[in-house]
Chain A
Amino acid sequence: MTTEELQAINVDKSVDARGTACPGPLLAAKKAIGEITSGQIMEVLSADEGTKKDIPKWATKKGHEYLGTVEDSGYYKIYMKKG
């Protein structure tokens, strides 16, 4: 998806993990994905560089669809659709 498409997306779940270092955002994503149903969209907000790579790989490995990452001022918004 393009940055514009991602920015316009309606998310079903937003996880703000900007206050935590690795592996905090990954664990937050793992917990939160269990709270939505298949086909719903989740965004994870993180300021951690390692997480920017970790969460897309984790999402794909776990059967979810990684939609893309948008960089905001000092943090990332990582989008995925639950599989």
Chain B
Amino acid sequence: MAKMTVGLSTSSIDKLTSVGVILSGAAADDMEVDLFVLVNAGHAFLKNKAENISAMSEDIQTSEEFKASLEKVSSPSWLEFFEMAKELTEVKIHICSLAGKIAGGEKMEDFIDIVDDICGIGEYIESIQNTDINIFI
């Protein structure tokens, strides 16, 4: 099984959606995915915040326009993409402890159910040393 490692460092809804689409493709291809939530990405995985993410990385659209565009083409939300990918293939979501703390979460119960564990940067480095595809967003 080929492996993909994703370093995710943003909580912007457009980039989260991009990662969700990539995870879907990896799932269809039966890839194993290690996704590391780094620095600013912790916010998106907090309980009570994940479904209300509205930051955008670019001002080409507002988040409301972006969400409307997705709905128009019946596209799942970023969170639904992540959940589907986890159902279809082995996707592990690791919260870097620093990212968790920046967002205000320190324990597993602070995060949504799709999160698998809280880790240190060493695990990310080990993963990218032993992966087939390495993506940083």
Contacts and interface: CB of A to CB of B under 8 A. Distances in A.
A30 B25 contact: no
Which of A19, A24, A27, A62 is most buried by chain B, counting CB atoms within 10 A of its CB? A27
B88 A23 contact: no
A74 to B, nearest CB: 15
Contacts of A31: 88
Interface of A: 19-24, 26-27, 29-31, 58, 61-62
A58 B75 contact: no
A27 B75 contact: no
Interface of B: 21, 24-25, 27-30, 73-76, 84, 88
A26 B30 CA distance: 12
Contact of A27 (B73, B74, B88): B88
Contacts of B24: 23, 26-27
Contact of A21 (B30, B75, B88): B75
B26 to A, nearest CB: 10
Given A27-B88, A31-B88, A19 B28 contact: no
A20 B71 CA distance: 10
B77 to A, nearest CB: 13
A31 B27 CA distance: 10
B25 A26 contact: yes
